[in-house]
Structure 1
Amino acid sequence: MKIDSHQHFWKYDPIRDSWIDDSMETIRRDFFPDDLEDLLEQNGIDGCVAVQADQSEKETEFLLHLANENNFIKGVVGWVDLCASNVSERLGHFSKNPYFKGVRHILQAENNDFMLQKSFQHGIEQLKQFDLSYDILVFPNQLKNSIALVERFPEQRFVLDHLGKPNIKDGEMDNWRADIEALAKHPNVYCKLSGMVTEADWNNWKPHDIYPYIEKIINAFGTDRIMYGSDWPVCLLAGKYDEVFGIVKEYIRQLTKDEQNNILGGAAASFYKLSA
């Protein structure tokens, strides 16, 4: 089963979605399952994981509704307030839906120490009882605290979104690589090959700008803890779906068939516990 482990849906709201600024006019509209299904089929992908883009339970309900209505949406990574005193109750509520697979908070929008505060870590601690994963969305300067976070929860499943958002556009790698290698030493942490074209030069990137970052991720995590994700429709800012998928597909041709299958679906299915 081939899986796109990271994509989004939304009904565009100019106030809620103010992060979509003037430079992002391409994605300043609605994106629903009908817009994605044909793209997945054309690229031989069997299903996807829908990830939250808004910090609200309404967003989680919206994504779960879409998953209930569309068989190719295999799982949802939603949002629950992990700092709330009733976090366990809310996680229990959403966990009644079999498509609810994990939680994400947009840590890149918080100060660096947010993830280390007691209330947030209390929320992370509650995930395991519901067998839920956690998606880490951070900038490179937040990776050290991400390492500290995962060290405190060795039994919790974590996945790093977008490679930790390295500065591909300027070819920066050294500090990012050292932190990635430290993070990857924790066997409960996976990584998504996603969000790469939007960290490159949107209008002038070439696959060879991105390949060195994929190489470092594979060297650090191995192929059994890496999963492909398109980051559609955000990826449309810098490339079409088939171009984004093509970067990963072309690079991993050098790997064995089993290793390719892990990256293109096996790791995602295992991590998120997806059903066909």
Structure 2
Amino acid sequence: MRPRTAVLSTASMLYKMGKLLSWEGLLIKIIQFLLDWPCPSINSQSLTTDCKTCLSALKAGDSVIPRLEILEHCALCLLNLGEWEFLVNIEKRWNYFELAAEIAYVCIDVVKHKGNKKVAKDAWEFILPMFGSNPQQKRSGSGGTTVIHRDSPSGALHSRSALSQFLGRLRDETAIAVAASLLARLHNVLRDEPSLELVVEYTGLWPAVVSNANSYNNRAVLEVLSQLLLQALKYHPTNVSWLKLLGDINFVLGHHAKALRYYLEAGIVVRRLL
């Protein structure tokens, strides 16, 4: 007969393995959900519950916690599923969570106040350094340093490429609109030419001034914004505002033929919707 301690040890190991395997399965479901958005084959309510449970394991100090990649995908999935209240109350241990939470906060404000209220600058101040001369220096909205975790597959959002990857996984229209408005406003502030301003909903939410504007890479802002919009239009192809914004971006860059193409596409969509 096996000693009681050996039985308990085996049971504990099996429990841990079961937990880890279930989280890996959750990651696969999230990736599938994002790829096939809105993915009717996956129960969104069940997925929401599983993501919250996964993130709660971290908060509860469980001895078995999910990999950071899984935690990041859970936060992103909840952002896309409109679980914004949950995200704004989560512990912002890593800056991937912080950006998801800050976008969620603005989404709540947009829905409640229709974009007519000035919001906190946290998301703006979080993203702004990524377009500066030292994009890896990150500060949280509270002024403290946010942990950059080396195991994060996204580079823990300390680079523009990691930011683009994060934004490219947004599926919810409100979340995308918030991110697009921030980048559009940033371009307008850095470029400071009224004739070349980008016009899109919610830009008035963000600050109108940036210190040392010349130290930021405005072209990189347009590149990240373009990538966000191109990805977003795969899932929301009839969003006239984003088509027009792509036209504006190409006009600013001097790509007039491309600009005309997007303006015409926007016009065609409007005509079809009439």
Question: Scaled by the length of structure 2, what TM-score is found?
Answer: 0.34
Q: Which has the higher helix share?
A: 2
More strand by share: 1
Return the structure number with greater relative CO, CA threshold 8 A, min gap 6.
Answer: 1
